[in-house]
Amino acid sequence: MSLIIPENYHDILGGVEATEKAIKVVKDMFQNNLSAQLVLLRVTAPMMVLSGTGINDDLNGTEQPVSFSVRDMDGAKAEVVHSLAKWKRLKLAEMGVPPGRGIYTDMNALRPEEELDNIHSIYVDQWDWEATIAPGDRNLDFLKKLVRRIYEAIKVTENKLYVEFPALVPCLPENVYFIHSEQLLQRYPGFSPKEREDAIAREHGAVFIIGIGGKLSDGNTHDGRAADYDDWSTPNSDGYSGLNGDLLLWNPVLGHAFEISSMGIRVDREALERQLTERGQEWKKQLYYHRMLLQDRLPLTIGGGIGQSRLCMYLLRKAHIGEIQCGLWGEDMRRRCLEGGIVLL
């Protein structure tokens, strides 16, 4: 997505002070709603992990993390997290959290290779969450149940926000629509993945696209996903593969689909073996995290991340994530935003 300047855009909240107040309302309210819906305990999380352990998120496998040497640890190399997708599973094992309960945390990451635009910045802030599940929960119905609970938490937040800020009229549909990425490809042949997302989100308002990361019938994936956390290869009850996906909302300000969360049932030992082989990453089996999983020393889990600034941006009807968070932006972007009525923090 290149920079979008909506026509006749203006801040309906009336300025930075009201925006800052509304941001706090959203963050306080949503995390309480999320915790209640999924039975989650808030925990403290790291901003950096040791390199070479396999704990950091590889994202699409090409992004390089911010790294540094720790002088007081004999120069050991550490790196700023991309996300906490795998760390959370280790934490659940350490805490002995039983099925049906989980954890969430404030995740702060740096992704300096992001292409900066309305919704992407170097600084990433998420509610990262993870819950322990039973073997019988590794199915599509269970995934959909938790997606609906998360969506309900978003809707409750939107409605309560309207009470305090009447300019923010609710626009989310009653229900979230589910579709597999292969079904989406068949419905919109000739469209790019992003064009397919725009089309389905415009039609339904809120959509969960299943099976992100697995190859489709055209030989491509809908979007990138690492091989060692989300399960995108296990056959599901809809006749396709994948127990993961992305939650998208139609953004009326930008006129595009808007990814608010990536989540899924995590790989078990068999799925990890299969997905590492498919990606040619068998060497990862020697890493600490992967050894733990292959030895069945980690619980079965489901989890994901929900963008904090993204959710605030959507609910507060902002055109740029820089209206929510303080980031680094090029002078040309700052100039164009200012000319279009977008005030970056």
pLDDT tens figures, 50-84: 887 777 776 655 677 878 888 888 888 888 887 78
Confidence at residue 114, expressed as pLDDT on a 0 to 100 scale: 81
Confidence at residue 74, expressed as pLDDT on a 0 to 100 scale: 85
The whole-number average pLDDT for the span 310-320 is 95
The whole-number average pLDDT for the span 146-154 is 97
79 and 66 Cβ atoms separated by less than 8 Å: yes
The whole-number average pLDDT for the span 112-137 is 91
Catalytic site includes residue 126? yes
- In the structure, what pLDDT confidence band is assigned to residue 3 with cuts at 50, 70 and 90? confident
Confidence at residue 21, expressed as pLDDT on a 0 to 100 scale: 93
3-state secondary structure labels for all residues of the chain: CCCCCCCCCCCCCCCHHHHHHHHHHHHHHHHHHHHHHHCEEECCCCCEEECCCCCCCCCCCCCCCCEEEEHHHCCEEEEECCCCCCHHHHHHHHHCCCCCCEEEEEEEEECCCCCCCCCCCCEEEEEEEEEECCHHHCCHHHHHHHHHHHHHHHHHHHHHHHHHCCCCCCCCCCCCEEEEHHHHHHHCCCCCHHHHHHHHHHHHCEEEEECCCCECCCCCECCCCCCCCECCCCECCCCCECCEEEEEEEECCCCEEEEEEEEEEECCHHHHHHHHHHCCCHHHHHCHHHHHHHCCCCCCEEEEEEEHHHHHHHHCCCCCHHHCCCCCCCHHHHHHHHHCCCCCC
Confidence at residue 258, expressed as pLDDT on a 0 to 100 scale: 92
This prediction's pTM: 0.92
Candidate list 11, 31, 35, 57, residue with the active-site label? 57
- In the structure, what pLDDT confidence band is assigned to residue 1 with cuts at 50, 70 and 90? low
Candidate list 31, 83, 121, 126, residue with the active-site label? 126
The whole-number average pLDDT for the span 334-338 is 90
CA 180, CA 36: separation in Å to the nearest integer?
28
Amino acid identity for residue 35 in this structure: S
The whole-number average pLDDT for the span 281-303 is 94
The whole-number average pLDDT for the span 327-341 is 89
Confidence at residue 89, expressed as pLDDT on a 0 to 100 scale: 93
Confidence at residue 53, expressed as pLDDT on a 0 to 100 scale: 77
Candidate list 79, 259, 268, 323, residue with the active-site label? 259
Candidate list 31, 233, 262, 325, residue with the active-site label? 262
Averaged pLDDT score across all residues of the chain: 92
Which CATH superfamily hosts domain 16-47+87-339? Bira Bifunctional Protein; Domain 2 (3.30.930.10)
Candidate list 246, 266, 268, 310, residue with the active-site label? 246
The whole-number average pLDDT for the span 203-222 is 95
The whole-number average pLDDT for the span 175-196 is 96
Catalytic site includes residue 111? yes
pLDDT tens figures, 84-103: 888 899 999 999 999 999 99
Confidence at residue 141, expressed as pLDDT on a 0 to 100 scale: 97
The whole-number average pLDDT for the span 199-223 is 96
Phi then psi dihedrals of residue 243, to 5 deg: -125, 40
Catalytic site includes residue 181? no
Catalytic site includes residue 279? no
